[in-house]
Structure 1
Amino acid sequence: MSAASEGGRGGAWARVLAPLLMGVLALGAWEMAVRHFGVPAYILPGPVDIARTLAADGGSLAASLMVTLRITLLALLIAVVSGVALSVLFSGSRWVEMTFLPYAVMLQVTPVVSIAPLIIIWVDNVQAALLVCAWIVAFFPIVSNTTIGLNSTDRNLLDLYRLLGASRWQTLVHLRLPAALPFFLAGLRVSGGLALIGAIVAEFVAGTGGASSGLAYRILEAGYQLQIPRMFAALALISLSGVAIFLALSLVSHLLLRRWHESALPGER
């Protein structure tokens, strides 16, 4: 086994163990501080109380988590399809980009919490309204990054494709889209977390209860009932879900880029 491969494996283990060790130390310090100062659980529960709540109410919280994740992943999928399609239009026509990109920017910079009530009023179906809110938040990073990637294609390679008589479709499929893939994947990792945030914010605004409610409603419900450990348990599930989404998208990015792109090749830092 070469020294480079051993170093790569050591670096991979370090990336896993370092944050895990830091997390364990932080949770231990949190638990010790809560016990030492006698902080009541209705103000700040310790990790042990939160873990007990997760064990006791894990079924209902997991069901609500599935509702939130379904909206998040569906919104991300729609954002990918619509964002890539719009980026292709932008890269194909400068006039189209100049005309419509400012409106995409306006959509992004408008806080979703301010327009979510209007969307929920305009859209009769609550789940569809939540989906629209999550899509709005996740949409722009994919459009922005993919458009930059498509416009950053090597001009010399574009000239070569023209000399070879390639059509615009062949140039797009075989040159521009592969060149934009690293940019798209970077935007996708950002949009994954934003879609989750958009779904949670929309659920807060909608305040829908019942069996089909998401984790945001469980947080509101626990707050009204002063079940603070349950609130922290729901927050922990949201955080872990966001981390899981980011790690999954990072893995997809690594698998797609590891053989040819500099950002995914092993190297020293």
Structure 2
Amino acid sequence: MTRLAGRLAPLLFAALVLYGWETLVRVKGLPPYILPAPSAIAASLWTDRAILAISLYVTLKITFAALLTSAVAGLGLAVLFRQSRWIERSLYPYAVILQVTPIVAIAPLILIYVEDPFMVMLVCATIVAFFPVLSNAMLGLRSVDPGLEDLFRLQGASRWQRLWLLQLPSALPYYLGGLRIAGGLALIGAVVAEFVSSTTAGGATGLAWRIIEAGQRLNVPRMFAALTLIALAGIAIFGLLTFASRLILRRWHDSERSEDKEES
């Protein structure tokens, strides 16, 4: 019963917020170009479903491509840093620089050197999502039990055997945690990149461009509809990555096994 109530609480809160929002718009008589009611946003989601669905596909394509690129590059670079302290000291500061530099400052430079619009979006979104994967993977690779490290050395395990059989499994929970963060950041990076570059990906337009277009036409309900799809996409990505993480870790890692015990 407690578990069910915990899952229903966010839905009930959202229903109360939407009801209050709808009531406020109707009582105040606010026009849609000032503040559309939730019913008007829902109507826009239905009537504009064709163009919004295409834009959602474009945004998600960039997001998942950036997430995959970040997942591979972040883990690969973390493994490389783990093998050589000198390489880490030489390259890690540049990863930090990319993380702390606003993407809105980098995007115009990327537009100069990258001609393909899709690659522009992909590079921008990857830069935003890359660092959490790298930092979490590095933390996981450094969090190996020293006793197990000594045991592997005593057994004559090679460096690659220690990496494959000990360090990577130990880093997996941290790596999956970094992916959960990177999923939302990849979506943010894809949206921000399209706002900044004001270009289309391969002739198609993402949700950010739909927001710009709707704002120019004062079609505020469509703006809110596109924002709603972005928010729902972010929730879905986080939920999907969380589910995948639990599915991978629940049989052997204490973090997920303890959560299962608490819920039961």
Q: For 1:212, what is the secondary structure of its paired residue?
A: coil
- Kindly indicate whether residue 243 of structure 2 is the aligned counterpart of residue 260 of structure 1: no
1:34 to 25, 29, 43: 25
Alignment partners' CA distance in 2, 1:170 and 1:36? 69
Q: Residues 4-50 of structure 1, C-alpha deviation per residue, up to 9 Å, x if partnerless?
A: xxx7xx52x34431211111111111111111222111011111000
Q: Residues 59-104 of structure 1, C-alpha deviation per residue, up to 9 Å, x if partnerless?
A: 1001011001001100110111110000001111222112111110
Q: For 2:48, what is the secondary structure of its paired residue?
A: helix
1:259 is displaced (CA, Å) by 1.2
1:211 is displaced (CA, Å) by 5.2
- Kindly indicate whether residue 159 of structure 2 is the aligned counterpart of residue 165 of structure 1: no
Unaligned 5+ runs, structure 1: 1-6
Runs of 4+ in 1 over 2 A off after TM superposition: 13-16, 208-211
Alignment partners' CA distance in 2, 1:15 and 1:60? 36
Q: Percent identity?
A: 57
1:262 is displaced (CA, Å) by 2.0
2:51 to 30, 52, 60: 60
Alignment partners' CA distance in 1, 2:36 and 2:227? 12
Unaligned 5+ runs, structure 2: none
TM-score normalised according to structure 1 size: 0.93
Opposite residue 162 of structure 2, the aligned amino acid is T
Opposite residue 225 of structure 1, the aligned amino acid is R
Alignment partners' CA distance in 2, 1:57 and 1:106? 41
1:267 is displaced (CA, Å) by 3.2
Opposite residue 16 of structure 2, the aligned amino acid is L
1:126 is displaced (CA, Å) by 0.8
In the other structure, the counterpart of 2:87 is 96
Alignment partners' CA distance in 2, 1:40 and 1:211? 34
- Kindly indicate whether residue 126 of structure 2 is the aligned counterpart of residue 135 of structure 1: yes
Alignment partners' CA distance in 1, 2:32 and 2:216? 15
1:252 is displaced (CA, Å) by 0.5
Alignment partners' CA distance in 2, 1:83 and 1:122? 23
| Count of aligned residue pairs for this structure pair | 260
1:241 is displaced (CA, Å) by 0.2
Alignment partners' CA distance in 1, 2:125 and 2:46? 29
1:82 to 63, 73, 81: 73
- Partners of 1:107 and 1:136 within 8 A in 2: yes
The CA RMSD over aligned residues, in Å, is 1.4
- Partners of 1:120 and 1:130 within 8 A in 2: no
Opposite residue 243 of structure 1, the aligned amino acid is I
